[in-house]
Amino acid sequence: MSEILDFYQQQQAATGFSNIPWLARLQENALADFARLGFPTRQLEDWKYTAVDSFFQQRFVMDKLGTANVDASQNDVPVGQKIALINGMIAGAEAFAASLPEGVIVQPLAQALLEHPEKIKPHLGAILQQEHGFHALNTAMLQAGLFIYLPEGVCLDEPLLLAHWQDNANQATYIRHVIVAEANSAASIIEDYQGVADCPYFTNTITEIYASPHAKLQHYKIQREGKQAYHIGHLAVMQAADSQVSSHSFSIGGKLVRSDITIRLHEPRATCLMNGIYAPAEGQHIDHHTLVTHEVPDCLSEQDYKGILTGQSRAVFNGKVVVVKDAQRTLAKQQNKNLLLSAHAEIDTKPQLEIFADDVVCTHGATVGQLDEDALFYLATRGIGRAEASRFLIQAFTTENLRTLANPALATWISKLLTQQLG
């Protein structure tokens, strides 16, 4: 372990700290945390079912960022105004920003740190709680990413699409997005991650979101990395009073994927929805951990994740809800359902509730099963072959999750991706 830690510490030394004093201190502290925490192992409860040993066997190098003058034309998401992030470099941000309403900021994080530090400093590194070496390394390497700022009362009609693409073998990309939505603002933001099919690379990405009172945010994460890629991602959210945040996660790519969400309902009447579909195929490992903390009374959270596993694949889902003392009148729902389409597929699911208040309504549950043979037989009697019948049942399994997407075109497109993934 010490050798791999030394390698990434040397990578950080080659990159250096920021010239901004407060940011340099943040990076220095993160580097110290990285040395102290190290990379997670299966001895940690939250990493019990996800070993990163294969990651240790490779060396991913961070290239210095330049100027991207290429378009992510391979991106086919059917909605959204697009900014391309090619191997960590941002293309077209200035032209994109010129088309936005007055006061909206969409800038490379490095530029925004110089021009708008007062808007970023209260949130950068404050919403995410660093728990392991991947978190700490992302902060220590802080360089690439976007700052998105929505002024009070501004509502964006069209989604913002952040199109991430990697095609450099053995490259590490560290991405940090910071999103601040002021009071009564609203937007939809899509993060799409993909890369060359057989190219080994490493994506370490963190998004921090602050939702002010009455703000409404729809966040989508589409993870379809190359099948030799490593993807470690985290969405961290802080919600103020009466804010509404919806997180929609769709994960089908990558060789080893860890995609976590932590949401703090920090002021009364905040509500959040976490909706996800994951579908690993042969040789893939996809792990989702979620944590919602009800810190005050009168908040609502809902989680609904579905898994579909084929081939020799593995998935992990760990959903946790914490209701602190005096967070009365909490309403929290959580469910995780899984379909195993192969005898060699494996799922580890663990819904959790920690409740320290007494006036709450909290439910959770998990199921693991196969396609209903009676339903397949019924469809066969109607002249529908087994393969087509299986597709119908899988579509029915995910219909409820896809219906929660606000954009029908995006829901239809994701359904087609899922069909392609499952063959």
Angstrom distance (rounded) from CA 104 to CA 161: 15
* 401-415 average pLDDT score: 93
Q: What is the model's pLDDT at position 69?
A: 44
Mean pLDDT of 328-336: 96
CA dist 335 and 304 (Å) reads: 5
Percent of the chain with pLDDT over 70: 93
The residue among 277, 320, 241, 239 whose CA lies nearest residue 419 is: 277
> pLDDT value at position 422?
86
> What is the tens place of the pLDDT at every residue in 113-140?
999 999 999 999 999 999 999 999 999 9
Residue 117 burial by Cβ neighbours in a 10 Å radius (0-12, 13-18, 19+)? middle
pLDDT for residue 379: 59
For residue 63, what pLDDT is reported? 73
**CA 180: distance to chain centroid?**
17
Q: What is the pLDDT of residues 20-69, one digit of tens each?
A: 999 999 999 999 999 999 999 999 999 999 999 999 999 999 876 544 44
Give the residue from 259, 105, 233, 92 showing the smallest Cα distance to 175: 233
Task: Report yes or no: 209 and 235 within 8 Å, Cβ to Cβ.
Answer: yes
Give me the phi and psi of 255, to 5 degrees please: -90, -50
The residues that bridge with 166 in the sheet, in sequence order, are: 195
pLDDT computed for residue 284 by the predictor: 97
Q: Are 26 and 139 in contact (CB under 8 A)?
A: yes
CA separation for the pair 392, 285 (Å, rounded): 25
**Under DSSP, is residue 145 helix (H, G, I), strand (E, B) or coil?**
coil
Q: Specify the pLDDT at position 332.
A: 96
413: β partners: none
| Residue tagged 């959580």 (tokens) | 334
Residue 265 DSSP SS3: strand
Question: CA 48, 51, 53 angle in degrees (round to 5)?
Answer: 150
3-state class of 59 per DSSP?
coil
Domain ranges of the chain: 2-267, 372-423
pLDDT of residue 293: 98
Could you give phi then psi for residue 287, rounded to 5 degrees?
Answer: -125, 125
Strands (E), 1-135: 81-86, 89-91, 105-108
Cα(163)–Cα(178) distance, integer angstroms: 16
Lowest mean pLDDT among 62-66, 68-72, 371-375: 68-72
Q: Is the dihedral of CA 257, 79, 119, 20 positive or negative?
A: positive
Instruction: Find the mean pLDDT for residues 318-322.
Output: 96
Is the distance from CB of 223 to CB of 256 less than 8 angstroms?
A: no
* Pair 84, 70: CB distance under 8 Å: yes
Q: Write the pLDDT tens digit of every residue in 79-104.
A: 888 888 888 888 777 777 778 899 99
Write down the pTM of the prediction. Answer: 0.94
| 93, containing H or E segment | helix 93-98
Q: CB atoms < 10 A from the CB of 116, how many?
A: 15
Res 394: pLDDT: 83
